Amino acid sequence: MSGALIQAEQLGRWYGQVVGLSDLSLEIERGVSGLVGPNGAGKSTFLKLVAGEIRASRGSIRVLGYEPFANAELFRRAGFCPQQEALYEDMTGLEVVRFLLRLHGFSAGEATRRAHEALDRVGLTDARTRRVGGYSKGMRQRTKIAQALAHGPELIVADEPFNGLDPVGRAEMTALLAELGREGVSVLVSTHVLHEVEALTRQMVLLHRGRLLAQGSVGEVRQLLSRRPRRVEVRARAPRRLARALIELDFVSSVQIAEQEGRVSIETTDLERFFGELTPIAAQARAGVTSLESHDASLEAVFDYLVP
């Protein structure tokens, strides 16, 4: 199917005096996308608007071509995993997913079958008949993901699905969401843990204080910041010799040496040219380069630059 997954125009949402989202215009394509921003950026508000949970105070939003608020057609084609606990403690994981499927209109038999499949999918095969009250945080997150994907939606909207997960759980959640993306499901994930969304997708939307700060791939967003110097860290056996050679380049704006650690931090205004020149310069200076790292390409760095 063609067309944007989500289209928002001058979207605004406020809660009394508090502005949740302001004048947001964007298009999100199909595939896996990350919604990134600090706490209070408006991520959850945007996701609730996408999931049809709340109405826009101003502007418009279309998801899969539908007006999302209270739209039964969209609800059949989209799954929502909220940030909140949301699950009944006294029910088993299987009962939760099954009864939520029944709300979609599936027959009892089909709901049970799909609930089993979804719980298998998220790795809760053995725990499905245990009470949710006895689940760990990670298991609850998985149950919420299971209920979001159980009815076979085209779009899964997950609000902070990595919250409360241990590193292994985070890696598994990332793998699951990435796999869903590979299978053709569009996934929109919000997080403030940047490296996780970076591991999941290069497509991101950056929100801050209810406004769109940037959108695109991490590289594209970084490209927008061409006037800002980019930082590269090089480890070398002879860092001082390397620094002396690099400072001669007109596109290197600063060089910092940590001699004990054998590290040179360079700021350059042209990353591409810098990488092109580095190898011959390092060879000529016999610097003995052992590692090279450009933190600037990471989402964290983009975020640091963009968010005041």
Partner 1 sequence: MIPSTHEELYRPFKGELRPARWRFLPLYRAQMAVATKRKLPLLILFFGPAMTGIIVSFMVYMRFSLEETGAAGPISGAGLAAQWAAQLLEVHNLIIYSMKVVRFFALLAMAWYGAGLICEDRRAGAHLLYFARPITRADYLIAHFLTAFTFGCCAVLAPGLLICLVAVFNSPGFIFLTEKWDVIVATIGYSLLFVVVLSALILAVSALSKRKSYALASVFAVFMGTIALGGALSALMRKRDFWMVSLASHFERVADWWLGASRSMHRWDPWWSLGVLLGLTGIALAIVAWRVRRMEVVA
Q: Which residues bind partner 1 (CB under 8 A)?
A: 15-16, 48, 51-55, 70, 72, 75-76, 78-80, 82-88, 90-91, 95, 99-100, 102-106, 117, 120-123, 125, 142, 147, 149, 151-154, 169, 172-173, 175-176, 180, 183-185
Q: Residue 127 CB, nearest distance to partner 1 (Å)?
A: 11
Tell which residue, 105, 116, 107, 184, has the closest CA to residue 150.
116
From residue 198, give the alpha-carbon distance in Å to each of 174, 297, 303. Answer: 10, 10, 12
Q: Residue 54 CB, nearest distance to partner 1 (Å)?
A: 4
From residue 226, give the alpha-carbon distance in Å to each of 53, 252, 269, 283. Answer: 39, 14, 7, 28
Q: Residue 13 CB, nearest distance to partner 1 (Å)?
A: 10
Q: Which is nearer to partner 1, 162 or 303 (CB)?
A: 162
Q: Residue 65 CB, nearest distance to partner 1 (Å)?
A: 16
Q: Which is nearer to partner 1, 86 or 249 (CB)?
A: 86
Q: Which is nearer to partner 1, 20 or 229 (CB)?
A: 20
Q: Which is nearer to partner 1, 34 or 82 (CB)?
A: 82
- Distance between CA atoms of residues 90 and 96, nearest Å: 10
Contact 280, 248 (CB under 8 A): no
Q: Which is nearer to partner 1, 93 or 239 (CB)?
A: 93
Q: Residue 47 CB, nearest distance to partner 1 (Å)?
A: 10
Q: Which is nearer to partner 1, 167 or 308 (CB)?
A: 167
- Distance between CA atoms of residues 119 and 229, nearest Å: 47
Contact 157, 82 (CB under 8 A): no
Contact 192, 37 (CB under 8 A): yes
Q: Residue 187 CB, nearest distance to partner 1 (Å)?
A: 11
From residue 211, give the alpha-carbon distance in Å to each of 67, 102, 123, 282, 301. Answer: 21, 37, 37, 44, 19
**Token pair of 156 as six digits:** 């899964």
